Structure 1
């Protein structure tokens, strides 16, 4: 069914354009954008405003879409008159549906609008969260003249009035203004207003601008030859975007450490999916010579970072809730020297920390109390038995005060529990469960309430997820994450519980860091490639922290 226009939309657009002297006016060949392949650019949104006009947009996070304010005003030239609040007409958003005839993706109602007054841009809140669809994060740098950009939209093409298929176009950035940029290339037609204009950086798209006004040259029904358009910048309003989507934020953050070929770097992700820029940990907390491994755990907002140096010593630093860092200090004498220390894992116990170490094939355990005093290493292998050829350890805490410990040894996965009274369970062989994996090279734990969630990886690139009920000790079926995280072999994996959400990250052999999130209701978000750190990634560590 076609979307009827209640007024001469194109004429109003051209009138608005004519008043803007900086709009690109150079001619470009009018070519249709290519149809987007299925399940690509799923952040793209089709917006139906009261059945009288259609626009495009982009999903910023689970519950917010960004588009053009002029989509919701009777006169597009008066976008700055749009009031905040519910839209005047019932407005529906279809997200993650490349072909509108299909059933993939989600459909939501817009309940609230938050417009800008200095540019044609508005935030639209959805009536409920969207899951399993990728987000489009705002850029941090302004587009430059001549820069190659892309855009996606559901607007008219040169031969179709109301396409059912998402199309992708290519543009060249022109004049850069205080609040807008000029773009030229693929025609921007009716229905493309609000479409995301983005660059692809470090293997992922980032939002540069939102399409606003165009000449519509090359569009069906237009005799115009000019294809230039105007788009509203977003790189300079990131703080405004974060502030005005805060109603769907909670006070929990994911903290991530990435160990690379050039050092150790830290970033944070809030509950709306916004990432901070990576910071150089060793620049602010001191250098660790030949850094071999790193792990972290948070108590409230304070993140404790542990590093194994090339000398086999163990170092501890912390990031305060205010963002400042306390320098690395050598804690080897406090916990006891363990020659051959190669791996550590750490978890919060509420008021303190539980630390697991792997040295010369043996597993050790130490604790830090509320006064930040360390116990000496205890020999877990002496208590529970030596696991041959151990290569990795992981740990988390579940409600009730139980510390869960995992070890990968002889390409098998093992699990034990240190109960709140200090007693230990025996090693359990997770590989005896129907994991579907012949060999295991990575494992990560995260405690979500009383349940233990686990991710396993194999040398051939398989990735599995399961949940162990702490009350019964029974395991769920092992689900396949390969369709989400890909099948590239994994060289590092970690997981964390963040406000009862299971979040995990992997570093793949082809040099990518990927993040995935499972909500408490069992729904998964789309996988996101994390970028912005210097060097090639070698390891990742995660923890959840509350402000």
Structure 2
């Protein structure tokens, strides 16, 4: 069996020009070393550690390490994205960027995920950037952010895909332990566990510094610089060793500004098991709120936005209007309507109180009355009104939340992919207006490799090839989602302009518009991948 020192000497690293990368959280360890320049990580260890490839290797590209901190966000070193020494700007990366997740052995393309980056959120003062993924990765647990600074002499386990003592471009994630030797506030100095330890090396930038607290791994810092890369391939053995890491434990508020995804809510009444909706799906002010059979319609989606004093406004996602009392009345049996949202309108303020069964009471603080159903109706169209707060079931609402779907916009027509409001199997995918109708909104989820499923927000069904046919010209429809079928897998590869083709794994063709149509209702199909704009989509 190799000694730890021998393993460290054989450490691999392949970053060709960047000295540091940052991660969202750091984990402190007290166990044996197996870090940067150290031991290979196993398949199940550190699945949240990512490899970040900025640009193409044959055109001045570079690589770093990072960490998954939310399903759509990776933290890494800001300098990884710097071009010619210029500050990193918020927004689209200057070069196409791809993140590999949960793949400690990069040769195992049958494991893990490879996802494009669509947006950067750089920290204003530190070598830290958040990279937003085109497709959420939902079956890899993000690393938890630490909330306390690593103390001097504490131990961090540092992970990285960087260069080793013998390899320029390794294909294996490695980890090793480093001791915190000091620091100057935002930056920590780290040193190897013995004088011969290699690392950090190029390619380790942004790699997470991890610690374990009460059995939970936390991200405390990310790799910032390598002091001299002593022992790394291409450097002398007597060059300085060790490096620095940028703290992230005190950046919780900054992370929170970016990691929270917009959420929609469906409110289901306990008494009738129906959803809070708007009469006739109306978008007009003063339209009445009603109950209706839950159907996934956009007028049944609500945003609960905080207001002062722990109160909320209840905003309809379709109309963008807020629940209020009709004409400002305060009496019991006053009907509830939608009206222009204004913070100063007290009749739009609601107190939400959840009971131990998970049901929520919505109390209007202007009237002191609760949201209820007229005469406790069990019928479609039953009016929503205000009544004395009591234990009646028609005042209990189960709030079911989900992340808001996304529009997929055609570069050719400026219309979006929709289903025409239909929810049935084999409904054709068509061009539709890019509005807040939820049949034009989609949830993307990473599948193995570089593929993604596209799940319709209204129907819950996935974009598929009709009849599972691989043939050119096959129309695209929605069908029940099934991870095991290749005709629901779409390759997402975002370019420097923020556009992607959607290539189907089963057919090998790209999503296109029939006859390059530019009107709502035009059908979508798969066709030979080419440079036509009807094959380019903006997520």
TM norm. shorter chain > 0.5: no
TM-score, normalised via structure 1 length = 0.44
Structure having the larger proportion of residues in strand: 1
Question: Which one has more relative contact order, counting CA pairs under 8 Å at least 6 apart?
Answer: 2
